[in-house]
Structure 1
């Protein structure tokens, strides 16, 4: 069961039980849907972050991938939420299909799907996220294990470490090409 965009539980019908020692790979969205994987990366030492996101279609083909350097960032949670807002904003431009949004931060997912007033330090960011989600049409917010979000994680790290902000249409940067091939094997 995964939380939907309205905070209700929805069945993830294609989910299989995996042995704990087996790495779970990214899975394709159902026909007629896209899947947006998002991750944030944070450095406590210099209070910077990175955002990584990749949107793929039902065949696993990349619609876009992106990384962003977050020059100032207060926490790992803020990096996750900023990455989510950035990813949804870009995805709205490149696809009108229903979208599954996957994050590996359960706290961020909970904040996004929770109804009512958010009184956290990230309330404004969460409100902007909810507004952006309302503009993309049909969608599902889902928490996934980190291994199913490996490519978004690598893009977030690329943004933070290399101080890089970029978008690749129908492709990915060379630095994560091998990981993308491994990711789509599963």
Structure 2
């Protein structure tokens, strides 16, 4: 039975054009996610949402492929480093999307000594993709820096795709694209703001802030190192 299905599936794909193959594969992926949501979380997903998710994800993927061709490989760090004197570093992360219904993120601003200036955690009742969640976190961090009158800020994210798309000329025609436009607007208005990619290992503080977001009122802004962050920040400073 399984072999017959595999033969049928590959024969079906063989008859499609390259563009149709991508659309069909993404729709099957979205159907599988809807099936898992129903099976494991007892969550119903509408047909319209399943199709829209497939279309949006495919458009993001296509945009990423174009961006990779336009942007050279960026140097990436595997451990957190202090910014130069006079600069501020902001790390952002949005590690999880709970059942496609909650988006959480963490933001952390530090000075050239590695000391905390301001941090924020928040969660939104939103069916955002992981890439959209990472972009929402970056937009919020850019807003915070602007509102607090910061200059010479280096923003770091562990989403290489996000950085590549921002630096490219590609703009997806969906919600992700709208967020990219917001990011570029902030960066164009603040030429001393820079966005760069780092490895996940160098983004531990923002990650820990994000996963603790559901434990605090939303949003949660703080100016002192919390007990749960103390050891991580101390290790990075040293």
- The TM-score range, normalised by the shorter chain, is 0.7 to 0.9
Shift of 1:95: 4.4
Match of 1:48 in 2: 102
Q: 1:174 to 1:73 in 2, by over 3 A?
A: farther
**Larger helix proportion of the pair:** 2
Aligned equivalent of 1:173: 226
Q: How does 1:128-143 map to 2 (within 5 A)?
A: 128-143=182-197
* 1:97 positional shift: 2.3
SS of the equivalent of 2:95 reads: strand
Among 157, 161, 165, which residue is 1:103 paired with? 157
Q: Secondary structure at the match of 1:122?
A: helix
Unaligned runs of 5+ in 2: 1-69
8 Å CA contact retained: 1:99, 1:140: yes
Match of 2:19 in 1: none
Q: Runs of 5+ in structure 1 lacking a partner? A: 1-6, 17-23
Q: What residue number does 1:118 align with?
A: 172
Could you tell me the TM-score, scaled by structure 1's length? 0.79
Higher RCO (CA < 8 A, seq sep 6+): 1
Q: 1:26 to 1:95 in 2, by over 3 A?
A: farther
RMSD: 2.5
Aligned-pair CA distance for 1:10 = 9.9
Structure-2 change in CA distance of 1:156 and 1:11 (3 Å): closer
Give the match for residue 73 of structure 1: 127
Corresponding residue pairs, total: 169
Task: Show the counterpart of 2:16.
Answer: none
Correspondent of 2:84 among 20, 30, 35: 30
Q: Report deviation, 1:35.
A: 0.8
TM-score by length of 2: 0.63
Q: CA deviation at 1:41?
A: 2.4
Please state if 1:152 is matched with 2:190: no
Q: Is the 8 A contact 1:70 1:160 kept in 2?
A: no
Q: Please tell me whether the aligned partners of residues 100 and 140 of structure 1 are also in contact (alpha carbons under 8 angstroms).
A: yes
| Structure number with bigger Rg | 2
Identify the structure with the greater strand proportion.
1
Q: Any idea what SS the aligned residue of 2:212 has?
A: helix
